[in-house]
Amino acid sequence: MGISGPILTNIITTDPNILGRSLKNKIIPSFNFLKSLIPDDIGSIGATLRRSTWILHSIETTLGPSISILRKHGVPDSSISKLVISQPRTLVQKPDQINKIVLELKEMSFSPSNMVFVRGFAVLSGIKKPAWEAKFAVFKSFGWSDQEIMSVFRKQPIVMAASVEKIRTSLDYFMNKQNWTQIEISIFPTVLLLGMEKRVIPRCSVTQVLLSKGLIKKKQMGTALIVAEAVFLKNFVIKYQKEVPELMKLYQSKMGILGLDIRSVESSLYN
């Protein structure tokens, strides 16, 4: 079927029991069912099997009913395939539970036709009510309303998969140290998931200087945090070297990489 090399080796060594399953009754039907969900992408199929070898044992029986429910509610196959590739175990639930989660998402104004729906599905599948309530409580302790919290969840569901401590630390930094409002965080909810020491703090040290000098606007700070490293250096450090020559040194000190030659950085960015 086109799966070979290291991927095949990994599949077999991870779950050698596969070799004892019926080729005709188990492996081939499971593989064909998986292929129907992920058409014309043998690479993704191989990656999925490498992470979840159990799929080859009886995928149609374990995932079939859940997939049928999602389809019934209008979730497109393109979204379902993404879920199967990334988090197939979220579909190994009783049909009643699958249906319950889907209805909850609809009540939260998630659209089944939108890709973010399956992200929300994955999060709700893996979080218990006490944990959900604890995370809600953290947001509320910073003055967030239910509507504002749900706005973040609808835009970036994975935020609610973060730990209580991560959410608290991020909210404290952005709201108390950077003076961000709920609305500003809601525009860029992904910032709540970023690493503090190696990304948020070093980049904010740069944007705060630029902001104080009127070189950027506050609304640009969110973009500065989520772009790739090369883009950040080009647009928020190199670009302002003449106006603020100490920017690179400041950024390097926060990153713990003092001594990097500015000319080599510029060369790598523009060549």
User: Is residue 203 domain-shared with residue 122, that is, in the same domain?
Assistant: no
Sites in the chain below the pLDDT cut of 70:
257-271
Among candidate residues 111, 126, 141, the one where a domain is terminated: 126
CA distance 240 to 236: 7
CA distance 188 to 191: 6
For residue 104, give both structure tokens: 């909850």
Give the model's pLDDT for residue 4.
85
Number of Cβ atoms within 10 Å of the Cβ of 163: 12
Contact indicator for 204, 225 with CB cutoff of 8 Å: yes
CA distance 192 to 169: 9
In a domain, 184, yes or no: no
CA distance 37 to 57: 16
Sign of CA dihedral 97, 98, 101, 106: negative
In a domain, 156, yes or no: no
Give the model's pLDDT for residue 209.
95
In a domain, 89, yes or no: yes
Rounded to 5 degrees, φ, ψ at 251 are -65, -45
Domain that holds residue 227: 195-270
Q: How many domains does the chain have?
A: 2
